[in-house]
Structure 1
Amino acid sequence: MSTKIPLALIADNCTQIIIENDDKTIYTDIGYQYRLERYIKKLGLEEGLSQEELDFLFAAKWLEGVIQAENPTTTLDYNQLAVYAGERVKQLCLEWGIESDLASRLATFVSNIRPDKTLDNKLDQIYNDAVWIDYTLGNGRDNLKKYYQQLLLQGYNIERLGWYDVITGYLESAEFYTQYAKNNYQKALKDLVKSLKQEKKQLEKRMDLALKQQLNISEKEIKKLKKNLQNVKKRDDRGIQTLLRTTLRNHYTLNQMIDRKANIMITVNSIILSLLLGGIISDPVEDPVRVSSLLLLTVACMASIFFAILSIRPNKTQGDFTEEEIRERKGNLLYFGNFHNMHIRDFEWAFMQMINNGEHLYEAMIRDYYYLGVTLSKKYKHLRKSLNIFLFGFIGAVVLNLIIRMI
């Protein structure tokens, strides 16, 4: 490594790119870069690395941070990410005027950073150990949680239970190469795997409990339902999607019909009220026959308008969900009234939780369908009252007028 490494140039430019993508880099942010630098420095000194070798690792670390921030992949395919990493590092080095030999070595090194590969080179081993150390410290589980949230924001299709399977698989096969890391962090790594497995079991129990409470069913029925869901997963989803899409479209059409009819009732009654009040003001009525019938019709029109307005009056909503409610699948994010007060990052995370879990997504669609039906029922009741009041009020006014005249 005879080429001088422009570490300050690389660090400054990479910092700018990482900050520009900070809306998605929840885990591999600037703080992560400085933590990793401390681990690399400690391991490098223990292994007797030169300053030039340390600078190379620091430069590779910053470039890997850019790859994680810009990550265009949406699956845990490390081959695809490795190809992108190599090309992107070479492109950045060319833009920054870095020598081609150093650029090639950095590109090769960064493209080899992956958890599913056995490492023989000392620099690769030190970098690998530094990455695993960040998961084994006191806030290691929080770091894994942040990394999962980052992957969701970047478009990865991983449900939470599936994430536990993936990460525990990598952690179980992970090994430290340097003696210092083995002595200080190997046990913590095993303890982390054990705690993650326990956490997964607790999550499964909470999800089962939430499902039992929602459906009011027994443990035996839960097991039977899970078995049936496994069979459903093997079916073609297009039939289910068509069913939900058709029923939702039909109900939205009914909703529009109610709104149009309510608007018609408001318009008709408003016109009648305008004519009645205008006639009374311009030509005061003293005939008790006309007064009683006009009064009845006026009250009927006002009551009809009142219920017509109720049928189209929007409900007041909370507009927010807690993290626990999202994890237990209690929130319906398909309706704006339920999320309009949420922060954009919280909403993105919650929505990715939903769309990355097929069962959760179908539950949300079914729940949205149900509450749409409940809303339609209330609207129909108010509209029916509006129509009935107008009908009987109009007939009553005419009949009353005829009866009084006959007397």
Structure 2
Amino acid sequence: MRRVVITGAGSVNALGRSVPETFAGLAEGRCGIVDLEFRDVERLSIRIGGQIRGYSAEEHFSRSEIALYDPFTQYALLSAREAMEQAGLEISEELSVRAGVIVGTSGGGLHTQDENYRLVYEEGKNRVHPFIVPRLMNNAAASHVSMRYGLKGPSYCVATACSSSNHAIGQAFHMIRSGATDVMLTGGSESMLVFGGIKAWEGLRVMSKDGCRPFSRTRNGMVQGEGSAMFVLEERERAIARGAPILAEISGFAMTSDASDIVMPSQDGAARAIEGALRDARMNPEEVGYINAHGTGTTANDKTECAAVRQVFGDHADRLMISSTKSMHGHLIGGTGAVELLAAIMALRDGIIAPTISYEEPDPECDLDVVPNTARNVKVTAVLSNAFAFGGLNAVLALRAA
């Protein structure tokens, strides 16, 4: 099987408008969770989130493009542009048919839905813009990215709630490794920070009103974020031949289903996904130095994930570093695994382990090294990135240093 490497990365999120800005935010332990600003926010009980402040679509897109692009599509396009520029990739006619796009998203065009529900139900309008369906459909971001770069191979979206990005990246990895494609643009994008999006999540009663504190005994729920991260994946020998920068190697991927409960996580399902990724990567558990955790800040998720890590790694769990960057950028739902993959790349490339910020008090049920509050400079050569979604759908990526 062919080896797969990451040659480009791009991101827009609450910590920064680029990968270098995001790396800086992760290394500094900066909190991007702020008071939300949008219409009717005062009607919500949850008023904080990892919102991208000061963003103006007009600075990046034409009027006709904005008519077609929901914010989640805009974020994906901006991230893809940065990733393609870093990779220095030119799409020839020959390559175009062996290159594709897979984007993870859970909500798709929620801004578009929210705005137009208001027009129809609140304001009584009987006519909406003809581009509403192309704006809100979940595959809009993948389609527009493929059109922007002329990628004519397999292109689609993945919607598996909070595991969407990891599933998308894992599928892109499989396509290159199997020989079905040579290059893939992949990642995730989400923009749920609108009145309807937050109101729906409020109903689950898993949201925090005051901050995201993964693994801390004082944690009281998750905090949503928004944004995107996209990556250029290539067959390794091809990337070396053209002198491309290699950020990291994806060496394994596994996905499992809990098949047990629609919202409660399963230790067994998570453990099987972690074990599967290690097995697929031919990676010994003792090689892993860092895990970017799913780490939502909910009571159930954090203790279940820690138990799964202990189950898989045994005594080595005490020597592992495991952190949740959701404490900084929020939970991007379908886009979260993509932004978190940046923390995994930073660990491998720069030897900087992103912290779990806002950590206040140890929890006996989360008794791992969660890198509390301050980043560390530690060289690691193998890492995992976990994603465990509602519906019991788990996806774990295994990466090695380039």
Structure richer in strand, relative to its length:
2
Structure ranking higher on relative contact order (CA contacts 8 Å, 6+ apart): 2
Alignment TM-score, normalising by the size of structure 1: 0.27
Greater C-alpha Rg: 1
Alignment TM-score, normalising by the size of structure 2: 0.27
Structure richer in helix, relative to its length:
1
